[in-house]
Amino acid sequence: MSKVSLKIDGQTVQAEAGSTILQAAEGAGIHIPTLCYHPVLPAEGACRICVVEVAKQRLLLPACTYPVAEGMEVLTESPQVVEARRFVLELLLSDHPQDCLTCEANGDCELQDLAYRYQVKRSRFQGEVHRYPLDEANPFIARDMTKCILCRRCVGACRDIQAVDAIGLAHRGFDTKVAAAFDAPLQDSTCVFCGQCVAVCPVGALTEKNARFLGRSWEMTRVTTVCPYCGVGCLLDLNVKDNRIIKVTSNWEGPANRGATCVKGRFGYEFVHSPDRLTRPLIKANGAFVEASWEEALDLVARRLAEIKGQHGPDSLAVLASAKCTNEENYLLQKFARAVLGTNNVDHCARL
């Protein structure tokens, strides 16, 4: 690839020919605000927040789609640029419920961040506003279309990350909205509830239904771990508050999944806090389980295994390890079977 040289905010920058102004700026550590742009999706060029001033160009240009050129001179925060961004934000806010106090996205909202950064307190435009009911009829995704800014990231995620195409833009003009085919409820559409749309939504239009009102973004710790289901090994971020998993969010660095998940990975975590979890060792006495301490239970198991081995030999014992246990646990289980019990009778469900 050939390089071109340009100036961004007075700084000389080298960029790949064919790359966008946004990519060139990011490469040089210069942050241009975006809204519809998402790094893993094709640029939409829909929102006009990322406009920049380019010398000798009559109009402001969208940095997310406009390619760099040799000798280009770009200003990312000129008065004209700032004025345009404030104008765009005022238009967006003129039809946006400003209920940040109770919005799930509060503190994790790109529109809120931009309004703060450009000090847009209220919109000077008064006009018609959208009124849609909150859609919570499906099991996992809460959709508040009054908050949708039509950035189309969700449409791109459904199309380009998941290759599902369950949603698109319906209707025209002011009535434009993101919808499934025939504006059907998600549960009656081809939606597979992977939640990828929620993962990319920059505002509070799409949120995890079962996490609503359970925690604010700044109250949660994100712990990166591996999905407990199939063998793909998707990385997930568990969002934890007060020792509970509140929700699962995408980890865009995951080498196997790059932020994609399926319905189980994103929404299948509630078994962890199920009231059915075993919380005490149990010993069966006269056909019924009785709670016991670890001391009692382990001593009993050790004694019985040793007795049976003494009477019937090591191969009268067998161990089933697990494809759900960690490597370290499986290692210890086979070491236990072989070196302590003295048998190679150890297997797991690889064949099942």
Q: Which of residues 189-208 bind other proteins (CB under 8 A)?
A: 192-194
Among 35, 269, 286, 288, binds other proteins (CB under 8 A): 269
Four-CA torsion 146, 152, 154, 157, nearest 10 degrees: 180
**Binding to other proteins, residues 39-58 (CB under 8 A):** none
The 204-233 contact track toward other proteins, x by CB under 8 A, reads ------x----------x-xxxxxxxxxxx
The residue (of 71 and 185) whose beta carbon lies closer to other proteins is: 185
The residue (of 59 and 339) whose beta carbon lies closer to other proteins is: 339
The residue (of 71 and 233) whose beta carbon lies closer to other proteins is: 233
Among 69, 129, 169, 302, binds other proteins (CB under 8 A): 302
* Binding status of residue 340 toward other proteins by CB under 8 A: yes
Q: What is the DSSP string of 207-260?
A: EEGGGTTS--GGGPEEEEEE-SSSTT--EEEEEEETTEEEEEEE-TT-TTTTT-
- The window from 10-18, 51-59, 120-128, 234-242 that contacts other proteins (CB under 8 A) reads 234-242
Burial of 128 (0-12, 13-18, 19+ CB in 10 A): exposed
* Binding status of residue 343 toward other proteins by CB under 8 A: yes
**Binding to other proteins, residues 110-139 (CB under 8 A):** 139
Please check whether residue 112 is in contact with residue 105, taking contact to mean a CB–CB distance below 8 angstroms. Answer: yes
- The window from 10-18, 29-37, 121-129, 269-277 that contacts other proteins (CB under 8 A) reads 269-277
Residue 166 vs residues 38, 155, 169, 239, 254: alpha-carbon distances, Å: 19, 8, 11, 27, 24
- What b/e readout covers 96-118, taking b as 16+ CB neighbours within 10 angstroms? beeeeeebbbeebbbbbebbeeb
* Binding status of residue 317 toward other proteins by CB under 8 A: yes
Residue 106 vs residues 100, 120, 174: alpha-carbon distances, Å: 6, 16, 26
Radius of gyration of the chain (CA): 28
- The window from 51-59, 99-107, 167-175, 245-253 that contacts other proteins (CB under 8 A) reads 245-253
What is the nearest approach in angstroms of other proteins to the Cβ of residue 168? Answer: 16
**Binding to other proteins, residues 139-168 (CB under 8 A):** 139-140, 160-163
What is the nearest approach in angstroms of other proteins to the Cβ of residue 237? Answer: 9
Token representation of residue 218: 């700044």
Token representation of residue 349: 């469900």
Four-CA torsion 334, 340, 344, 350, nearest 10 degrees: -20
What is the nearest approach in angstroms of other proteins to the Cβ of residue 165? Answer: 10
- Partner residues linked to 347 by β-bridges: 320
Q: Which amino acid is at 176?
A: T
Please check whether residue 114 is in contact with residue 33, taking contact to mean a CB–CB distance below 8 angstroms. Answer: yes
DSSP character at residue 337: I
The 172-191 contact track toward other proteins, x by CB under 8 A, reads ---------------x----
What is the nearest approach in angstroms of other proteins to the Cβ of residue 286? Answer: 12
**Binding to other proteins, residues 1-20 (CB under 8 A):** none
- The window from 9-17, 71-79, 119-127, 254-262 that contacts other proteins (CB under 8 A) reads 254-262
